[in-house]
Structure 1
Amino acid sequence: MIRVHSYESLGTYDGPGIRLVVFLQGCNFRCLYCANPDTIDCKGESKEVAPEEILRMAVNQKPFFGKKGGITFSGGEPTFQAKALLPLFRMLKEAGIHICVDTNGGIWNEEVKELLMLADLVLLDVKEFNDERHRRLTSRSNAQTLQTAAWLEANGKPFWLRYVLVQGYSAFREDIEALGKHFKAYRMIERVEILPYHTLGVHKYEAMGLDYQLKGVEPNTSEQLEEARVLFQSYMNKVYVN
């Protein structure tokens, strides 16, 4: 059984085309700006769903996917449930449905490796390139995330690089430049997405009785986003503000 938090039909922000987005329960990171804090706990208010049920939903929505769309697994952190997801991924492959995994890349084991091999596209969230600042932002090291990126490159697995721009936390010119230099020779990066920081999930913290840690951090201005886009673009192609 798979622990599912929620679904989004006809999604257009998490991978190419129109997609069924499955938000899974459980995460190994503790990102200060997390928009889905209710997905962090391994159980939360999630429901256990049989793989066949998710397959049925994907097959039913397949006519809307077109040539580029498919199913995206987000969260939470999908690789947190890698073992449970493997049978579903195999069934989705047999049904000819494009599979996308949105991951922080911070979990690694044989099940995760097999899961990413079955995926058609990986959305890799690199929270910060500087490890000390990454720890401040997520309470975890970025070492495994960078190793996961190297594995994707070495195994010819297409991926998108995603970077949330947060003033005072990840919007440092020197860190973006270091990230650009690190990834500029990668051939499997199909797209770079700069994700603007937002406070849309703050009400969830209040409802859960939690203290939101980034009070006072302002959303990005259009000028800040454009400056970051140009900086990324100096190292990598196909850079977009999502």
Structure 2
Amino acid sequence: MPATVAPGAVTGRIHSWDLSTGVDGPGTRFVLFTSGCPLRCLYCANPDTWHMRDGREVTVDEVMAEIDKYRGFVTTAGGGVTLTGGEPLLQPAFAGAVLRRCQETGLHTALDTSGFLGARATDALLADTDLVLLDIKSFDVATYRKLTGGALAPTLNFATRLDRLGKRVWIRYVLVPGWTDDEDAVDGLAGFLSGLDCVERIDILPFHKLGAAKYDALDIPFALRETPVPDTALVDRVRSQFRQRGLSAH
């Protein structure tokens, strides 16, 4: 039998970590940005996290030592730890080990994922996850493919699985004019989500161009450079569509 690897010895590749309030889960969060992502979303604000090889290798012990520096602050502020990326499920053993250690020490845990690699999330990993932040890029199959380079079905399957497991889920929906604002597609997504008891809220995230300088620095074309940001009326319309289905949209 293979030797058992102590959780602290598990390694992963990360881009960085930061403290965040507002969009990465409840309270003030210690946010760990993992490296590597299988999708290439046209609106991605962090193209510098796409390749695992560009990340820094760390052990789970090193991550926990950094988290411990801010433990008092994040717990007092009603927060916890959020794994994001990149795509954390590209490194499921590492992500699972970090989540397990956080749970063992009483920290609230959140997993921010596209769900595209949801099949890699074991039941044990999800048991150590208090909240899933699920990014659904579009409900139109063709648009999803053009926008991300991937398929929609794995994400929807993952959402259904999370519902079966009774996990708490917050949906993140990036609103991009001309891409994810189609009324029928939004209504279709709202209908799908209204059938899932696990969905607590929908966060409508207006498209922005804050990552444009990163594309320039990496000499990567930013395909949505000329795409306008959504105005207040459009954001309100999309929020209203979700609310009409009985969903809590913000």
* TM-score (normalised: structure 1): 0.95
Post-superposition shift, 1:198?
Answer: 0.2
Amino acid in structure 2 at the alignment position of 1:172: D
Amino acid in structure 1 at the alignment position of 2:186: I
> Is it true that 1:168 corresponds to 2:178 in the alignment?
yes
- For 2:12, the equivalent position in structure 1 comes to 2
| Contact 1:2/1:48, CA 8 A, preserved across alignment | yes
| Contact 1:59/1:95, CA 8 A, preserved across alignment | no
Post-superposition shift, 1:81?
Answer: 0.7
Structure 2 Cα separation of the partners of residues 113 and 76 of structure 1: 21
Structure 2 Cα separation of the partners of residues 113 and 35 of structure 1: 30
Consecutive unaligned residues in structure 2, runs of 5 or more: 1-10
Post-superposition shift, 1:112?
Answer: 4.2
Post-superposition shift, 1:170?
Answer: 0.7
Structure 2 Cα separation of the partners of residues 209 and 15 of structure 1: 32
- For 1:54, the equivalent position in structure 2 comes to 63
Structure 2 Cα separation of the partners of residues 59 and 132 of structure 1: 44
**Residue deviations 1:21-52, cap 9 Å, x none?**
111100011101110001011212x2111101
| Contact 1:30/1:139, CA 8 A, preserved across alignment | yes
Q: RMSD of the alignment, in Å?
A: 1.3
Task: Report the CA distance shift for 1:110/1:165 in structure 2 as closer, same or farther (over 3 A).
Answer: closer
> Is it true that 1:154 corresponds to 2:155 in the alignment?
no
Give identity over the alignment, percent: 35
> Is it true that 1:26 corresponds to 2:36 in the alignment?
yes
| Contact 2:83/2:95, CA 8 A, preserved across alignment | no
Amino acid in structure 2 at the alignment position of 1:3: R
| Contact 1:18/1:70, CA 8 A, preserved across alignment | yes
Post-superposition shift, 1:111?
Answer: 4.5
SS in 2 for 1:224: helix
**Residue deviations 1:123-182, cap 9 Å, x none?**
000000011110010011110000000000001010101100001111110000011111
SS in 2 for 1:141: coil
| Contact 2:100/2:125, CA 8 A, preserved across alignment | no
Structure 1 Cα separation of the partners of residues 65 and 84 of structure 2: 18
Task: Report the CA distance shift for 1:179/1:110 in structure 2 as closer, same or farther (over 3 A).
Answer: closer
Which stretch shows the higher mean deviation, 194-203 or 215-224? 215-224
Task: Report the CA distance shift for 1:236/1:68 in structure 2 as closer, same or farther (over 3 A).
Answer: farther
| Contact 1:83/1:111, CA 8 A, preserved across alignment | no
- For 1:211, the equivalent position in structure 2 comes to 221
Q: How many residues in Structure 1 have an aligned counterpart in Structure 2?
A: 239
Structure 2 Cα separation of the partners of residues 158 and 80 of structure 1: 21
